[in-house]
């Protein structure tokens, strides 16, 4: 009885999956008709449809942003290619000259160049050095956009992200304090809270007026843009080049945000190895040397307890569904990494801060 029921359930799930693929394929074919493309074959990607066309591989994805942002992205990416960085997933205009194509049900889609490759292996130092050098080259190409696209950046912009996360930590602590019966996670969170609060203060103290003013001036005067989501998932290794994809979060800001995000993600995967982290940092500096203010900003980003904030946010948003043991395990794993993280930050301070 149970086996028949399970088989029936699996069959229904399989049916829904097949129907979903058929629907996506039919929708994609209809949308691709809006472009000057001759399609020979399509296949399903991760939340997208990939097509082999007479103008190379293309990918159709849903787009959640505004038309103005899409137009900006198209301009920025075209500018990057003109500056000599070809391996990005540029947006394609449809037959009406628009970046966004709207489906019959109001959903918005864009078509981009599809760049084959695999994600950067965060455990391979040489591979990480290779992709971060390409990131530095990309950053060099993301400066000097036309005056119409300049957008001022202030110290408040730079501090605002820390302030928002600090406020979230305080909300979590206040919520836990009100709980009459506390779980192991909640008790551990309260016990360690002051340690991580101090880290937020250390990070914030690095963003002095001098540092922020220098970075804001560089961004504004040189019309600097950053990728905005530079994790290893968006850095693809091909045989003879590195591709950088998914520019949807691209904006006017310091490019150190990109480097900080990539470096922190890699360090978390490598137990905050000082030799690994400094090796990546030196590779970036070989292509695009950093100023004293940029080193200070990067230290602030790396010393800020991002993982602790993420765990706190996950607890607050999913406390009804996330098992208490899973919450505790995540926090315990973070605490086990703190000694290595402190060692890396000390090495960074000694080598990079004046």
Which CATH number describes the domain made up of 2-114? 3.30.200.20
Q: What is the pLDDT of residues 119-137, one digit of tens each?
A: 999 999 999 999 999 999 9
Question: Distance between CA atoms of 176 and 182, rounded to whole angstroms?
Answer: 7
Question: Distance between CA atoms of 26 and 313, rounded to whole angstroms?
Answer: 39
How high is the pLDDT of residue 211? 92
Q: Dihedral (C-alpha) 162, 166, 171, 172: value to the nearest 10 degrees?
A: 100
Q: What is the pLDDT of residues 256-269, one digit of tens each?
A: 999 999 999 999 99
Question: Distance between CA atoms of 103 and 32, rounded to whole angstroms?
Answer: 11
Query: How many C-beta atoms lie closer than 10 Å to residue 6's C-beta?
Result: 10
Question: Distance between CA atoms of 233 and 226, rounded to whole angstroms?
Answer: 16
Strands 39-45 and 48-53: antiparallel
How high is the pLDDT of residue 201? 94
Query: How many C-beta atoms lie closer than 10 Å to residue 341's C-beta?
Result: 21
Which token pair is 255?
């490019």
Query: How many C-beta atoms lie closer than 10 Å to residue 138's C-beta?
Result: 25
Contacts of residue 116, defined as CB under 8 A and 6 or more positions apart, other chains included, come to 57, 236, 238
First to last CA, the chain: 72
How high is the pLDDT of residue 91? 96
Q: How far is CA 301 from CA 35, 46, 235, in A?
A: 42, 30, 20
Q: What is the pLDDT of residues 266-279, one digit of tens each?
A: 999 999 999 999 99
**Taking the chain (354 residues) in consecutive chunks of 10 residues, what is each chunk's mean pLDDT?**
53 42 64 92 87 94 92 93 94 96 92 94 97 97 72 68 92 93 93 96 91 90 92 93 95 94 96 96 97 96 95 79 78 95 96 88
Rg over alpha carbons for the chain, rounded to the nearest Å, is: 23
Q: What is the pTM (predicted TM-score) of this model? A: 0.87
Question: Distance between CA atoms of 196 and 178, rounded to whole angstroms?
Answer: 20
Q: Smallest Cα–Cα separation from 310: which of 165, 188, 194?
A: 165
Beta carbons of 314 and 322 less than 8 angstroms apart = yes
How high is the pLDDT of residue 354? 72
How high is the pLDDT of residue 321? 56
Domain boundaries, the chain: 2-114, 125-352
Which token pair is 144?
């000097």
Place of tokens 């990939």: 50
Which token pair is 210?
């001098």
Superfamily of domain 125-352: Aminoglycoside phosphotransferase (APH), C-terminal lobe (3.90.1200.10)
Beta carbons of 111 and 119 less than 8 angstroms apart = no
Place of tokens 């992200």: 161
Beta carbons of 77 and 88 less than 8 angstroms apart = yes
E-strand spans in 238-328? 242-244, 251-252
E-strand spans in the chain? 39-45, 48-53, 56-62, 91-92, 101-102, 108-113, 118-119, 225-226, 235-237, 242-244, 251-252
Contacts of residue 182, defined as CB under 8 A and 6 or more positions apart, other chains included, come to 176, 190
Which token pair is 319?
């406390």
Beta carbons of 276 and 167 less than 8 angstroms apart = no
Give the three-class secondary structure for 211. Answer: helix
């Amino acid at each position: 009885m149970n086996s028949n029921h399970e088989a029936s359930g699996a069959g229904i799930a399989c049916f829904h999956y097949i129907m979903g693929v058929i629907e996506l394929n039919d929708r994609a074919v209809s949308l691709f008709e809006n472009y000057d493309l001759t399609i020979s074959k399509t296949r399903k990607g991760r939340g997208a449809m990939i097509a082999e066309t007479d103008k190379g591989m293309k990918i159709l994805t849903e787009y959640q942003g505004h038309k103005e942002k899409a137009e900006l992205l198209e301009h920025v990416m075209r500018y990057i290619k003109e500056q000599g960085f070809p391996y990005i997933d540029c947006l394609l205009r449809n037959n009406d000259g628009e970046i966004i194509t709207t489906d019959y049900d109001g959903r918005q889609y864009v078509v981009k160049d599809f760049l084959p490759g695999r994600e950067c292996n965060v455990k391979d130092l040489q591979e990480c050095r290779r992709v971060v050098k390409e990131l530095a080259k990309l950053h060099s190409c993301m400066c000097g956009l036309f005056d119409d696209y300049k957008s001022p950046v202030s110290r408040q912009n730079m501090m605002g992200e820390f302030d928002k996360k600090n406020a979230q930590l305080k909300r979590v602590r206040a919520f836990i304090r009100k709980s009459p019966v506390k779980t192991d996670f909640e008790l551990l969170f309260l016990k360690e809270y002051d340690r991580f609060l101090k880290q937020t203060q250390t990070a914030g103290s690095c963003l002095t007026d001098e540092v922020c003013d220098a970075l804001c001036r560089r961004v504004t005067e040189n019309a600097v843009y950053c990728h905005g989501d530079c994790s290893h998932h968006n850095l693809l290794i091909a045989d003879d080049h590195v591709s950088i994809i998914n520019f949807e979060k691209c904006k006017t800001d310091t490019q150190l945000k990109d480097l900080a995000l990539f470096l922190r993600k890699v360090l978390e995967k490598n137990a905050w190895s000082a030799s690994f982290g400094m090796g990546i940092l030196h590779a970036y500096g070989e292509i695009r040397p950093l100023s004293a203010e940029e080193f200070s900003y990067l230290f602030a980003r790396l010393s800020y307890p991002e993982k602790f904030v993420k765990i706190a946010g996950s607890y607050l948003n999913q406390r009804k569904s996330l098992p208490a043991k899973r919450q505790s395990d995540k926090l315990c794993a973070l605490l086990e990494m703190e000694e290595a993280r402190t060692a890396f930050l000390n090495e960074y301070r000694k080598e990079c801060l004046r």
